[in-house]
């Protein structure tokens, strides 16, 4: 399951909320992409939902705490 697929489930289950971030101003960081948006960051440009390190850390925290599990089907 991708982070893009997982995010709506986290929102539905009230495990995470959208976390809008401040817009970055030039000069942009090296990997910043104005054409890519992150749903977790409220649609902020710069990176994709798949590349969102904040979301990845939050998901890992949920897994570590036992609030989020993945079962084989």
Express each pLDDT in 37-54 by its tens digit: 999 998 889 999 999 999
Q: Is the predicted pLDDT of residue 73 greater than 70, yes or no?
A: no
Work out how many domains the chain is built from and give that number. Answer: 1
Domain coverage including residue 48: 3-57
What the block records as the tokens of 47 is 């990176």
Give the integer Cα–Cα distance in Å for 57 and 49: 12
**CA 19, 21, 37, 55 torsion-angle sign:** negative
What is 3-14 written as a DSSP string? HHHHHHHHHHTT
Residue 64 is assigned to a structural domain of this protein? no
Residue 12 is assigned to a structural domain of this protein? yes
Residue 40 is assigned to a structural domain of this protein? yes
Please report where in the chains the tokens 């089907």 appear, as a residue: 73
Give the integer Cα–Cα distance in Å for 11 and 2: 15
Per-residue pLDDT band for 22 (boundaries 50, 70, 90) equals: confident
Residue 69 is assigned to a structural domain of this protein? no
């Amino acid at each position: 399951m991708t982070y893009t697929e997982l995010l709506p489930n986290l929102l539905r289950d009230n495990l995470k909320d959208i976390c809008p971030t401040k817009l970055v101003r030039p000069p942009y960081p090296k990997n910043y992409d104005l054409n890519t948006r992150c749903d977790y960051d409220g649609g902020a440009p710069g990176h994709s939902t798949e590349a969102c390190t904040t979301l990845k850390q939050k998901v890992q925290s949920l897994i570590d705490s036992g609030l989020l599990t993945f079962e084989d089907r």
